[in-house]
Every structure is written in C-alpha cells, then in structure tokens.
C-alpha cells in the first residue's frame, strides 16, 4: 500500500455518496474510487449470507484497482460483512454503524428512534451496540425507503405517504432524536425532519467516519501528501443510466454534505 493509491468506498447503491461527499470535502488531496452495487441493491432486505457474498465481490473489484484503504459506506454491509472483509484484506477497513452512541451520550429525555434496514437491525454487531447504548432507543426498520433515493425520488406523494405511515405510531410519543442508520436516508433528512417535533435532533455517522478515516490513514502513513491532486471516480455494477444518475446524486451530495 502507498500514499498515491486511492481510497475505495462501497455501498449497495447511491446512499454512500452522502459519506463520500463529506470525505472528499475533508480530504481534497486524496483519490477516491466509489463502487455502487446498484445491480444488487437493496442489500437491506436480503439474507446476511447474501450481503456477505455481495460485499466480498464488490470489494474484490475495488481491490483489483489497488486501493490503500476501504470505507464500507453502508451500514447494512458493515453489520453483515465487516468481519469477513477484515479476514480477507490487510488494508485499513473503516465500517459504518448507526450513530446511536452519540445520540445516547447527548440524550436529554424522550425516545431515540434508530432508522435502518432490517439486515442492520438484526445484525449481531448492531445488537451489541444497542445493548450498550439503546436504553432509550427503539429500532425502526425502514424496508423500501432506500429505493426512493435509488430512483432520485426525493419528493413525491409516495414518499410522503411512506414517511407518514412510518411515524404515525409515534404521534403521542416524545421523540428527542432520530439516528439515520442507513447512508441513503441522509438524502431524505429534511423530509424526515419535517415529520418530527421541532427540536428533534438528527444524528448521522459522517463526522465520526471521516475522523476515523483520517486517523487510520495517518497511523498507517498513507495520507496523500499535501499538494497531491485529488480525484473521484465512480463505478456502478448497473447500467449507464445508473452511472449518469450517480453523477447527479453526487452533485446533490456535494451540496448537502
């Protein structure tokens, strides 16, 4: 591994672009390769074994490009496959988990809702986290919510309907925080916020992961030298329409994150 190599990012689709945009902002001299496995998305409603297999395939594609580090920009893939990935590869691997700890650390009464895919919420990794920090939290599985982002459907009657139904059971509860435990949901932050009581805090993992990425690269002496030219390359397992969509959604991410 050497400093000049790229940092690989991977997600089941377009969601991880939210984290990528934050990382590029933080490390403008780095080269990034982002792989969106949109041909196989969503991961969040598959079996854990399928997610492991797909994650290994995706990372082997990135590895063939010679990456110096990997960010698994997907809570679902992290929950199911991070151990398998760490067994196979020696480069630094940074995973993603729902930001329940920061939400619990800053708890000031009320309920913390953790929005994530069913696979994430069932994973042993997430449940160990929930055991430690989930005292005031409730799991909120959101099957199908990522599909709106994959379709670039950031505003629609169907999305409104999905979110209204999702939060309807909590109308009489005091929700104090929501954890966005899937990288796709970050694109829907405002739509989610609009359905929650004013003052509800929204947590995501972007800052924690970019900090961790910087730390791991520095420890391994792999940070790009100041003055190096940064770059971002996109790969999709789907068709050229998805590749064009990836560029558009990345532009949205650059504005938002």
User: Which x/- pattern over 196-235 shows residues binding ligand DGL (rule: CB under 6 A)?
Assistant: ----------------------------------------
Q: Report CA-CA distances (Å) from 8 to 43, 53, 64, 92, 171.
A: 19, 18, 11, 10, 41
Cβ distance to ligand DGL smaller for residue 104 or 146: 146
Residue selected from 54, 146, 209, 253 as contacting ligand DGL according to rule CB under 6 A: 146
- The reply on whether position 117 binds ligand DGL by CB under 6 A is yes
If the CB atoms of residues 67 and 73 are measured against ligand DGL, the closer one turns out to be: 73
Q: How far is the CB of 128 from ligand DGL (least distance, A)?
A: 17
Alpha helices in 38-114 (DSSP H): 48-63, 75-88, 100-105
Among residues 6, 74, 81, 116, the one annotated as catalytic is 74
How far apart CA 76 and CA 81 sit, in angstroms, is 8
Residue 98 contacts ligand DGL per CB under 6 A: no
Site string (33-52) toward ligand DGL, x via CB under 6 A:
--------xxxx--------
Give CA–CA dist 230/24, Å, rounded: 8
Cα 8 from chain centroid? 14
How many residues sit in the footprint of ligand DGL (CB under 6 A)?
A: 16
Q: Which of residues 5 and 205 has its CB atom nearest to ligand DGL in the complex? A: 205
Based on the residue annotation, tell me whether 142 is a catalytic residue of this protein.
Answer: no
Indicate the DSSP class of residue 152.
Answer: T
Does the protein bind ligand DGL through residue 75 (CB under 6 A)?
yes
Angle at 111 between CA 109 and CA 115, to 5 degrees: 140
Closest C-alpha to 91, from 209, 198, 221: 221
Length of the chain in residues, anyone? 257
CA separation for the pair 64, 197 (Å, rounded): 47
Q: Does 99 interact with ligand DGL (rule: CB under 6 A)?
A: no
- Of 145, 146, 179, 182, catalytic: 182
Residue of 8, 15, 92, 95 that binds ligand DGL (CB under 6 A) = 15
In the structure encoding, which two tokens stand for residue 49, read together? 């074994």
Residues at the site binding ligand DGL, with contacts judged by CB under 6 A: 11-12, 15, 41-44, 74-76, 117, 120, 146, 182-184
Catalytic positions, please? 74, 182
């Amino acid at each position: 591994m050497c400093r000049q190599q790229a940092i690989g990012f991977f997600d089941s689709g377009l969601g991880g672009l939210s984290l990528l945009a934050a990382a590029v902002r933080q490390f403008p001299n780095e080269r990034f390769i982002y792989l969106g496995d949109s041909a196989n998305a969503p991961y969040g409603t598959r079996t854990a074994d399928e997610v492991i297999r797909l994650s290994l395939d995706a990372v082997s594609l990135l590895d063939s490009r010679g990456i110096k580090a990997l960010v698994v920009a997907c809570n679902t893939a992290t929950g199911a496959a991070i151990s398998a990935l760490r067994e196979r590869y020696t480069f630094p691997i940074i995973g993603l988990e729902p930001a329940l700890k920061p939400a619990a650390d800053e708890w000031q009464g009320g309920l913390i809702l953790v929005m994530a895919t069913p696979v994430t919420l069932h994973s042993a990794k997430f449940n160990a986290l929930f055991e430690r920090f989930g005292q005031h939290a409730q799991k909120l599985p959101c099957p199908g919510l990522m599909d709106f982002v994959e379709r670039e459907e950031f505003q629609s009657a169907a999305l409104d309907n999905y979110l209204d139904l999702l939060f309807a059971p909590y109308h009489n509860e005091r929700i104090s925080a929501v954890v966005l435990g899937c990288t796709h949901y970050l694109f829907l932050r405002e739509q989610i916020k609009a359905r929650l009581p004013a003052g509800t805090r929204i947590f995501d993992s972007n800052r924690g992961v970019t900090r961790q990425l910087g730390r791991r690269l520095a420890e391994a002496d792999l940070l790009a030298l100041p003055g190096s030219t940064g770059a971002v390359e996109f790969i999709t397992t789907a068709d050229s329409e998805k590749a064009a969509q990836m560029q558009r959604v990345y532009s949205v991410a650059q504005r938002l994150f």
